[in-house]
């Protein structure tokens, strides 16, 4: 078990030799972009009724309460930039090593960083749909209207029912195509790279063991221990930014030697 003062060489050498990596990210990959995670001491769930407002029944009961409680998070996401860990996955994709990025995050930072195949298991904050007629809505202008006090809960442009973001709320199923894509990629990978997840929410948390059962190695980079650490070929407990910078340095080609003088 390597510590972060010397980013785990075994994790980096497993990444170096892997040919088909599936990266599996959680909220921990975006905390250094300023977006809180969920279960750390100052995470989203430190606000006790957060689970209530992040539920489908909570939204149906009181859409305005859903937006009151989630606009801080959405405004933070709107200002966030990809981190070095997001950039590490783009670099690995440029090296032809990435099968897919599977994320539990709704912040869109993997695509913003340049990852091209991203499965968003818990949906996205960017788009939404009418809770009645299902009409598609681009959520960004609607968030602006809420922030400017123009509305408490945006209404559908077709039927005036409340509009909701395309995020998977508690009591809801994962988007089928994202889940199927993720499971297929996991079945093909030779390395599952878990970045910043407590691995406690199912079915997403089944994926690392699916990868191991399919013969892949497991690498976990997370501040805290997870219940899957024992199944991992390498575990790095520490900050993802530090690990990503060390991995980027280790994986980047050495600068050409100066011409002999």
Name the one range near Zn ion by CB under 5 A: 86-94, 133-141, 213-221, 224-232: 133-141
Q: Shortest gap between Cβ of 204 and ligand APR (angstroms)?
A: 7
Nearer to Zn ion, 135 or 201 (CB): 135
- Footprint of Zn ion on 92-131 (CB under 5 A): 130
Nearer to ligand APR, 91 or 156 (CB): 91
Residues that bind ligand APR (CB under 6 A): 26-28, 31-32, 37-40, 43, 104, 122, 196-198, 200-201, 222-224, 239-240
**64 contact choice in Zn ion, ligand APR, none (CB below 5 to 8 Å, kind-dependent):** none
**118 contact choice in ligand APR, Zn ion, none (CB below 5 to 8 Å, kind-dependent):** none
- Whether 86 is catalytic is no
State CA 183 to chain mean position distance: 16
Longest Cα separation, the chain: 76
Catalytic member of 110, 122, 137, 237: 122
Q: Pick from 103, 104, 87: which is nearest to 95 by CA?
A: 87
181 with 10: CB under 8 angstroms?
no
Name the one range near Zn ion by CB under 5 A: 149-157, 178-186, 187-195, 213-221: 149-157
The string over 109-145, giving b where at least 16 C-beta atoms fall within 10 Å of a residue's C-beta and e elsewhere, is bbbebebeebbbbbbbbbebbbbeeeeebebeebbee
Distances (CA, A) of 95 to 9, 87, 182, 216, 248: 19, 12, 21, 19, 12
Residues with catalytic roles: 122
């Amino acid at each position: 078990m390597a510590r972060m003062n010397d980013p785990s060489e075994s994790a980096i050498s497993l990444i170096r030799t892997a040919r088909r990596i599936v990266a599996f990210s959680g909220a921990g990959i975006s905390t250094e972009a300023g977006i809180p995670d969920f279960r750390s001491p100052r995470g989203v769930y430190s606000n006790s009724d957060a689970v209530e407002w992040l539920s489908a029944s909570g939204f149906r009961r009181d859409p305005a309460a859903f937006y009151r409680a989630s606009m801080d998070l959405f405004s933070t996401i709107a200002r966030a930039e990809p981190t070095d860990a997001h950039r590490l996955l783009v670099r690995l994709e440029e090296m032809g090593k990435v099968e897919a990025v599977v994320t539990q995050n709704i912040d869109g930072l993997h695509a913003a960083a340049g990852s091209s195949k991203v499965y968003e298991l818990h949906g996205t904050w960017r788009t939404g749909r009418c809770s009645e007629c299902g009409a598609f809505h681009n959520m960004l202008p609607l968030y602006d209207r809420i922030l400017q006090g123009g509305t408490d809960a945006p209404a559908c442009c077709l039927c005036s029912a409340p509009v909701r973001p395309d995020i998977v709320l508690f009591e809801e199923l994962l988007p089928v195509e994202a889940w199927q894509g993720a499971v297929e990629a996991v079945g093909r990978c030779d390395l599952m790279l878990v970045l910043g997840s407590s691995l406690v929410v199912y079915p997403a948390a089944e994926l690392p063991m699916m990868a191991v059962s399919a013969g892949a190695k497991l690498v976990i980079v997370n501040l805290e221990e997870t219940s899957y650490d024992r199944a991992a070929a390498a575990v790095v407990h520490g900050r993802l930014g530090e690990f990503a910078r060390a991995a980027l340095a280790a994986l980047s080609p050495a600068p050409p030697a100066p011409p002999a003088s």
